[in-house]
Copies of this chain bind each other. A is one copy, B any other.
Amino acid sequence: MSVRVTVWNENVHEREDPAVAERYPDGIHGTIASSLEADGYVVETATLQEPEHGLSESVLDETDVLVWWSHCANDEVSDDVATRVVDAVHGGTGFVPLHSGKNSKPFTQLMGTTCNIKYRHGGETERVWVVDPGHPIANGLDEYFEIPATEMYGEPYDIPEPDRTVFVSWFEGGEVFRSGVCYRRGRGRIFAFRPGHEEYPIFYQDEVQRVISNAVAWAAPNEGATVNWGNVESVESLDE
């Protein structure tokens, strides 16, 4: 049964900046969605401007993995929708925040930290090294791939110690960054992936598309075990 993906985008730069609109005529969400459809996923898109940001209960109920791009409008996401996304992740929905999606309400709420970084605009080279070559999110990659021009993110990245660190980036300007990190919260798998600044055609790059596709496969929910929370009777007899 196919994994159902919702690609969410704040979709602001594409509407306000002609250069971004030209680069991503279908929006960053459209480019990512096309790439995932080509890999056989069932893909929908949703954006900030739609009612409930396109993330109604029914949309989330039919989403196995939520891919999330955001940047300048993280604060415009309503608290209700952010909470709904967090609840969905707790229930098993995979969550793949891209680039500044690390500053989104759902991601920071799931992490419990500031997710602060250092950054720099300027279009320098990034070399993304695979530090966990056995991880399924690295499937099919060489030992590194390069992004010819990008915004820099630098350490310290204020996140909880990751369950697994898959990628560490080298930047031309002298910094390093944990560019691909894995977590679980409740039943949901989370993979935060650094690349993807809107000023560059990064989401057309083969390796970036492959990582996102691998991450969706990895983050898809599984059945798991049943759970009973709350007030319970004892299993063993307690009469004495």
Interface residue ranges, A against B (CB under 8 Å): 86, 90, 92, 109-114, 116-120, 122, 124, 127, 129-136, 138-144, 152, 154-158, 160-161, 163-165, 168-176, 178, 183-188, 222-236, 238
| New A-B pairs, 18, CB < 8 Å, besides A124-B234, A134-B222, A170-B176 | A90-B113, A113-B186, A114-B186, A117-B229, A118-B229, A118-B231, A118-B232, A122-B234, A129-B156, A130-B155, A133-B224, A134-B184, A138-B225, A139-B224, A142-B225, A169-B176, A173-B238, A175-B235
Q: Out of B113, B163, B172, which one reaches A161, CB within 8 Å?
A: B163
28 residue pairs from A and B, CB less than 8 Å apart: A109-B109, A110-B112, A119-B230, A124-B234, A124-B238, A129-B175, A130-B155, A133-B227, A134-B186, A134-B188, A135-B224, A136-B222, A138-B225, A141-B226, A142-B226, A143-B226, A154-B232, A156-B229, A160-B183, A163-B163, A168-B168, A169-B176, A170-B170, A170-B171, A173-B235, A174-B235, A174-B236, A176-B176
A83 to chain B, nearest CB (A): 12
How far is it, in angstroms, between the C-alpha of A112 and the C-alpha of B152 when the chains are bound? 27
What are the residues of chain B within 8 A of A111 when measuring CB–CB?
Answer: 112
Query: Is the contact region of chain A dominated by helix, strand, or loop, or is it mixed?
Result: loop
Assuming A113-B185, A127-B235, A184-B134, is B173 touching A156 (CB within 8 A)?
no
Closest chain B CB from A10 CB (angstroms): 21
Bound state CA distance, A187 and B109, in angstroms? 17
Instruction: Write out the residue numbers on chain B whose beta carbons fall within 8 Å of the beta carbon of A224.
Output: 133-136, 138-139
- Which residues of B are found within 8 Å of A230, using beta-carbon distances? 118-119
Please indicate the chain B residues that have their CB under 8 angstroms from the CB of A227 in the complex.
133, 143, 156
Chain B residues, CB < 8 A from A142:
225-226
CB distance from A188 to the nearest CB of B (A): 7
**Interchain nearest-CB distance for A157 vs B (Å):** 7
**B-side contacts of A134, CB under 8 Å:** 92, 184, 186-188, 222, 224
By a CB distance below 8 angstroms, the chain B residues around A173 are 234-236, 238
Would you give the shortest CB distance from A45 to chain B, in whole angstroms?
Answer: 26
- Chain B positions within 8 Å of A138 at CB level: 224-225
Contacts of A160 in B (CB 8 A): 160, 183-185
